[in-house]
Structure 1
Amino acid sequence: MTSVITAEQLTMRFRGCDALRGVDFTIEPGSVFALLGENGAGKTTMIRIMTGFQKPTSGQCTVCGLDPTRHPLEVRRRVGYVSDSPALYDWMSVGEIGWFTASFFPKGFLEYYRESIRRYEIPEDRKIRHLSKGQRAKVALSLALAHDPELLILDEPTSGLDPMVRRDFLESMIDRAASGRTVFLSSHQISEVERVADTIAILHEGKLRIVAPLNELKQSMTELTVSLDDPLVAIPTIDTPAEVMCDELLGRQRRLVVRDFTPEMHTKLASATGVTGVSERPLSLEEIFIACTKGSLSRPASAPESADETPQETAMEAAS
């Protein structure tokens, strides 16, 4: 079975920042692959490379068996794309934009598009400029799916949409995967991703921290709370293949997020000098994401609910 997307050591350097730093992943047909990351993590840059709009500094990428750098038009014919702010001609009507787009695709596009628009209850004679954001998103999705693409790429598609429209988007993603097609979803809406994704990738500052099936990822991650009789006590090193995603000291407790923690490791840790107790608990996908990107599950006392982006994130977002 041929992979729909492959990325091998993809690097993208802009002046002042590295948007991607050695990214590797493979996406198989019939799956919903979710790329999670903060604003500025490099998600949009990844999509621009996949669709042939950006040539990587180094590394290789294939989409539907093609190199987007060498065959950009053929790649775009075989994929559908929806962004958070779809670029639609405001002066056209809903019907006209479907007719216009159909000229670039094989026969059958217009019929499928019109069927989708009717299902969404959007009048064909209504001008694009008079549509709500949710209706524009539905038009964009209808255009992206009318040629039945092998791959659907979604870049923050539900940003700013009402709950009903977001639910429609999510349900359509599951339907696509069930029909054997593939969905690549870029988002930072963790709860939405958790409902539809088969595989999760977490991108942080241009590097992939994790790529794993959702169920395996959640089962492999553990939060440890290690109680100490003295804050200065050193605990044993967590041996490989376990990986410590974050480690913080809170008074007489050490809190760690560990991937692939084993019962043998628990026994070794609990019997160490100065350790008075070790407790474990599973993590939600949101907590896993925070641990991988922030390096801590604790919110600083002075931090606001929604912190501004760091200067590095701002520079990377501008580049992407």
Structure 2
Amino acid sequence: MNHIIQTSDLTMRFRGCDALRGVTLNVDEGTVFALLGENGAGKTTLIRILTGFQMPTSGTCRVMNLDPAKDALEIRRRAGYVSDAPALYDWMGVGEIGWFAGTLYDKHFLPRYQESIRRYEIPEDRKIRHLSKGQRAKVALSLSLAHDPELLILDEPTSGLDPKVRRDFLESMIDRAASGRTVFLSSHQMAEVERVADVIAILHDGIVRVCEPLDTLKDSVIEVAVSLEDPLVVLPALPEPAEVLGEASYGRQRSMVIRHYDSGMHDLLASRVGVTGVSERTLSLEEIFIAFTGKSPPREAIDRAEAAVEIEGGVV
């Protein structure tokens, strides 16, 4: 499969801040690729580099086999882009801005834009300045999709949209990927991402912590709850390739989020002197994200673990 986006060891340094620290990513054609990260993780900086608005400090990247440093205008012509706060000409009407943008593309742009605006029920004669935040987002989405881009880059695109429109829009991203188009999505809405993404990358403190197909990622990370006779019981170190992403203790309960856990490790923990029960639970994408960004399992996770151990007959 061809890569529509390739980055290699990208770094971006600002005064007093390393926004990106060696980011390497490959985005395949015909996929919905989701980039997750906290505020300040470097997501928007990466998008600005991909679209040629920001030159990296070091490293290389190619978008649609073009160099953003040299071919920024061609990339912007062939790609669609929507930010969480789209910049639109407030003095224009909804119809006018479609006509204006249409002069930059082929004859199919304006009819597609007008159809999208009608579907969103936005009057063409209304001024941009009089639109709500959600309506502005719909206009921006319509403009970004009207030229049927081979790559659609979305930075928090559903901000301000009502739940129904948000759901319909995200489902349309699956259809785009099925037709061979590519969607590069940056979002904080974990439940939405989990429903539509093919591949997940988690960016934390300027570093890509993980980049895997969603199903592979969810299968490889699990929460393990261990019930102990005494809180001071020391658990054995897990063999490679296991990686403990987060750990928390509450009394005689210990919870660990572990990557690459297997049944042999279950037996290793269960056979430890002082261990009275071991249970496992699959995690949601949001819980996996929290684990990779360096936070301990929440108290609720321990409560669920205690309940699971009680059901299995363990001592709590």
With structure 1 as the length reference, what TM-score do the two structures score?
Answer: 0.89
Aligned position for 1:105: 105
In structure 2, how many angstroms separate the alpha carbons of the residues matched to 1:164 and 1:110?
25
Aligned position for 1:314: none
For structure 2, list consecutive stretches of 5 or more residues without a partner in the other structure: 301-316
User: Hey, which bits of structure 1, 4+ residues long, moved more than 6 A?
Assistant: none
When the two chains are superposed, the root-mean-square deviation of aligned CA atoms in Å is 1.6
Letter in 2 for 1:230: D
Q: Which moved more, 1:77-86 or 1:230-239?
A: 230-239
In structure 2, how many angstroms separate the alpha carbons of the residues matched to 1:17 and 1:273?
47
Letter in 2 for 1:149: P
Aligned position for 1:82: 82
Aligned position for 2:313: none
Aligned position for 1:246: 246
In structure 1, how many angstroms separate the alpha carbons of the residues matched to 2:184 and 2:206?
18
- Structure 1 residue 222: Cα displacement: 0.9
Aligned position for 2:197: 197
Q: Which moved more, 1:48-57 or 1:172-181?
A: 172-181
Letter in 2 for 1:157: P
Aligned position for 2:155: 155
In structure 2, how many angstroms separate the alpha carbons of the residues matched to 1:112 and 1:283?
40
Higher relative contact order (CA 8 A, sep 6+): 1
1:32-51 Cα deviation digits (max 9, x unpaired)? 11111111111111110110
- Structure 1 residue 227: Cα displacement: 2.1
In structure 1, how many angstroms separate the alpha carbons of the residues matched to 2:191 and 2:32?
15
1:201-226 Cα deviation digits (max 9, x unpaired)? 11111111121111121111110112
Aligned position for 1:233: 233
Asked if 1 retains the 8 angstrom alpha-carbon contact of 2:134 and 2:159, the reply is no
- Per the alignment, in what secondary structure is the counterpart of residue 126 of structure 1? coil
Aligned position for 2:8: 8
- Per the alignment, in what secondary structure is the counterpart of residue 216 of structure 1? helix
Aligned position for 2:275: 275
Aligned position for 1:49: 49
- Per the alignment, in what secondary structure is the counterpart of residue 183 of structure 1? strand
- Structure 1 residue 294: Cα displacement: 3.6
In structure 2, how many angstroms separate the alpha carbons of the residues matched to 1:281 and 1:183?
31
- Per the alignment, in what secondary structure is the counterpart of residue 279 of structure 1? strand
Share of identical aligned residues, percent? 70
- Structure 1 residue 299: Cα displacement: 5.6
1:52-74 Cα deviation digits (max 9, x unpaired)? 11111111111111111121111
Q: Pairwise mapping of residues 55-204 of structure 1 onto structure 2 (< 5 A)?
A: 55-204=55-204
Letter in 2 for 1:137: A
In structure 2, how many angstroms separate the alpha carbons of the residues matched to 1:165 and 1:115?
15
Letter in 1 for 2:266: H
1:279-319 Cα deviation digits (max 9, x unpaired)? 1111111111111114212269xxxxxxxxxxxxxxxxxxx
Aligned position for 2:310: none
For structure 1, list consecutive stretches of 5 or more residues without a partner in the other structure: 301-320
Aligned position for 1:287: 287
- Per the alignment, in what secondary structure is the counterpart of residue 4 of structure 1? strand
Letter in 2 for 1:184: F
Aligned position for 1:296: 296
Asked if 2 retains the 8 angstrom alpha-carbon contact of 1:2 and 1:65, the reply is no
Letter in 2 for 1:72: A
Aligned position for 2:23: 23
